[in-house]
């Protein structure tokens, strides 16, 4: 990878700082930014990509939906960030049937560029208190589990990706590989 700058959008989630640290541990520059910043303020920082963190509530996402809709940058949404991308692009989200954090076995349907190398299935750490229940137009499903049908997705033409699970935690197998795949997307964009 080259010297990338990846900004982590803070949605007040407990793992925001872990995402920031995971990016730095993989030798890329990282910063945490408020979800209330304008797109102009974000672009002035010259990021190569954004990671939209999880958080406690879709009601506390600030301007994050506008970031997804308007910025021409690679964006990875994690947990609430995944749901936020879906909603911003016309998908549906709802309360999940199984809340709380737990290990989940995820089936990879399409490795694509973001899940490349994760294999036909992988064990991840996820919360399903809320989840994507309807794929947005122009998105494809990348992974599913017996807990949630849309565990991962991507836009067909834009570099927008979402995963229900947390690649930044040690409980997730191959979480670093997923982040490195996202960095490759950012480097090539």
CA pair distance 165, 134, nearest whole angstrom: 17
* Alpha-carbon dihedral sign for residues 154, 51, 87, 149: positive
C-alpha to C-alpha distance for 59 and 44, rounded to whole angstroms: 26
Q: Which residues contact 146 (CB under 8 A, 6 or more apart)?
A: 105
134 vs 91: CA distance, rounded Å: 5
Catalytic annotation present for 166: yes
Q: Which of 151, 168, 173, 177 is catalytic?
A: 168
Measure the CA angle with vertex 56, ends 55 and 59; round to 5°: 95
H or E segment at 139?
strand 139-144
Annotated catalytic residue, options 16, 79, 89, 186 = 79
Question: Is residue 89 annotated as a catalytic residue, yes or no?
Answer: no
Q: Which is catalytic among the residues 148, 166, 177, 186?
A: 166
CB–CB of 21/53 below 8 Å? no
| 63's tokens | 């301007």
d(Cα 161, Cα 155) in Å, to the nearest integer?
7
Among all residues, which ones are annotated catalytic? 79, 166, 168
């Amino acid at each position: 990878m080259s010297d990338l700058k990846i900004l982590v959008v803070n949605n007040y989630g407990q793992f925001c700082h872990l995402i920031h640290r995971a990016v730095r541990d993989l030798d890329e520059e990282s910063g945490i930014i408020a979800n209330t910043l304008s797109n102009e303020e974000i672009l002035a920082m010259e990021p190569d990509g954004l990671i939209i963190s999880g958080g406690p509530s879709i009601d506390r996402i600030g301007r994050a939906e506008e970031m997804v809709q308007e910025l021409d940058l690679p964006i990875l949404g994690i947990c609430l960030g995944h749901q936020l991308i879906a909603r911003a692009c016309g998908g549906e989200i709802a309360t999940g049937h199984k809340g709380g954090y737990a290990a989940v076995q995820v089936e990879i349907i399409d490795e694509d560029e973001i899940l490349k190398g994760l294999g036909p299935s992988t064990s991840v750490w996820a919360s399903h208190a809320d989840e994507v229940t309807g794929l947005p137009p122009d998105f494809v499903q990348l992974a599913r589990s017996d807990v949630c049908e849309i565990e991962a997705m991507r836009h067909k033409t834009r570099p927008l990706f979402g995963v229900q699970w947390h690649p930044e935690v040690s409980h997730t197998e191959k979480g670093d590989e997923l982040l490195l795949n996202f960095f490759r997307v950012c480097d090539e964009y």
